[in-house]
Amino acid sequence: MIKADSVDFKIFGGRKLKGFIKTNHSKNGATGLLCASLLNKNTTILHGIPRIEEVNRMLEIFSSLGVKTRWTDKQTIEINPPKKFNKKGLLHSSVASVRSSLMLIPAMVHHLKNFSLLHSGGCKMGERTISAHRYMFEDFNISIKTSNDEYLIRTKSTKAANIVMYEASDTAAENAIMTAALIPGVTKISFAPPNYQVQEVCFFLEKLGVKIEGVGTTNLKVFGVKEINQKIEYHNSEDPIESMMFMTAAIMTGSKLEVKRCPIDFLSLELTKLKVMGLKFKISKEYLALNGNTKLVDITLFPSKLKALKDKIHAQPYPGINSDNLPFFVPIATKARGTTLIHDWMWENRAIYFTELNKLGANITLVDPHRVFINGPTKLKPAQVVCPSALRPAMIILIAMLAAPGISILRNIYSINRGYEDVALRLNSIGASIEKITSS
């Protein structure tokens, strides 16, 4: 695996943003679609796959499994699965670096039956169990046992099932849907979070001929088929988390900025909270993404004076505030008059990362591993900060640096490259000033 942890950002903060920026395609949608493509015995062509480190790691695993892939355009990839997968690929070192590697299990159980998978990685945000995956797979007659560094997966005769999700896990729901797709019969899935990446996998499988009822709700019926063998082209939709990132950058720099191609269904509550805080913005008419299903809008943000919400801000499964969008409210709260309570109940350690903004002049108090109080407004100042090993906390530090007049250094930005493609270049295109430097 190629490491990129020697790359730093030098940020010249305090500059206004201007013009417009298009939202890129979804990281989480891309990884789900890549894994779902392995259910298909034929060629899959996926458009809108961002060239990010998370995708690079997944393609390294694909290569080790014997999957042939090639980029035919900047964000278009062709995938051809082998007649027989090489199970040694599931022990490739890249498996341990991406949480999404868990979504390889459905395709593998239909091809390999018994195999081992390295423990998956991802952001370092506290305990991340696989209980939701384990209990769901057991209902399909698939067992997962855990050793020190591997999951041991054993498949008996799979059967359609009635699944009640143990928790609202997006990746576990995707795994349930993908597993059910190749089990003839009707599988019912209850309490499935209808988040954007879950819906994306459903839309893709429907195009492959798998009937799914209830897409966009918490109760799904998957009508499984014996085989999927169809050449297909599919467009991954845009990333609501990236839309929120650009919106936050505009808010932090007091800029007028238009963010295009925003998945509005997955930003509506965030916008409602921001409206109550005093944010001024304009939303265009809705139009469809290239996948034919996801509703998009263009959002124009205007410089605004913000006030803190009286209520706490916390994430919930969709249609609540997305857990990946919650961190963006932390820098925003530094611009709001009053005290904001942010409760990140999902992750034991992520709130600790929020206090890194204190190095930039924020006034943030850690109440416990899940809660912070932010007092505002505060004037941010430049600083040198080592990038957290978690994607969204790393991004909020970068955004705060854009708002801090002077020169800031963000060290070791690999975690940002995991989820954002050419982010410095794209921010620079709307008025930011970020230099990429290499440290020894």
Pairing status of strand 162-164 against strand 185-190: parallel
What is the model's pLDDT at position 390? Answer: 87
User: Please, what is the Cα angle at 417 between 176 and 385, to 5 degrees?
Assistant: 120
In 126-173 the beta strands, taken as DSSP E runs, fall at 142-146, 150-155, 162-164
Share of the chain above pLDDT 90, in %: 90
Q: What is the pLDDT of residue 97?
A: 86
125, pLDDT greater than 50: no
243 exposure class (CB count in 10 Å sphere: 0-12, 13-18, 19+): buried
The pLDDT value given to residue 409:
97
The pLDDT of 307-322, averaged and rounded, is: 96
Q: What is the C-alpha separation between 242 and 423, in angstroms, rounded?
A: 10
- Do the domains at 7-24+238-438 and 27-235 have one common CATH topology? yes
Residue 12 has pLDDT above 90, yes or no: yes
Question: What are the residue ranges spanned by the domains of the chain?
Answer: 7-24+238-438, 27-235
pLDDT for 239 equals 98
Q: What is the pLDDT of residue 440?
A: 60
- Mean pLDDT throughout 191-206? 98
* Among 205, 178, 173, 174, CA closest to 191: 173
């410089």: which residue's tokens?
303
State the chain's mean pLDDT as an integer: 94
Cα distance between residue 175 and residue 104, in whole Å = 8
Task: Place domain 27-235 in its CATH homologous superfamily.
Answer: Enolpyruvate transferase domain (3.65.10.10)
Q: Which amino acid is at 138?
A: E
Between the alpha carbon of residue 236 and those of residues 3, 21, 169, 259, the distances in Å are 27, 18, 20, 18
Structure tokens at 251: 């808010």
Spatial distance between the Cα atoms of 218 and 104, rounded to a whole number of angstroms: 23
d(Cα 307, Cα 111) in Å, to the nearest integer?
A: 55
User: What pTM does this model have?
Assistant: 0.95
Query: 119-137 as b/e, with b when 16 or more CB fall inside 10 Å?
Result: ebbbbebbeeebebbbbbb
Can you list the pairs that 143-149 forms with residues at least 24 positions away whose Cβ atoms lie under 8 Å?
Answer: 146/119, 149/96, 149/118, 149/119
Judged against a pLDDT cut of 70, whether residue 128 lies above it is answered with no
**Which tokens belong to 12?**
């010249």
Band (123; pLDDT cuts 50, 70, 90)? very low
pLDDT of residue 2: 40
The answer to whether 409 and 384 are in contact (CB under 8 A) is yes
Q: Extract the tokens encoding 339.
A: 């005290």
Give strand pairing partners of 21.
259
- Range of lowest pLDDT (96-100, 132-136, 391-395): 96-100
What pLDDT is stored for residue 147 in this prediction? 87
Phi, psi angle pair for 243, to nearest 5° = -55, -45
Mean pLDDT across 233-257: 98
Residues 247/335, Cβ–Cβ less than 8 Å: no
Rounded CA gap, 374 and 340, in Å? 5
- Range scoring the smallest mean pLDDT among 75-84, 112-121, 252-261, 387-396: 112-121
CATH 3.65.10.10 fits 7-24+238-438, yes or no: yes
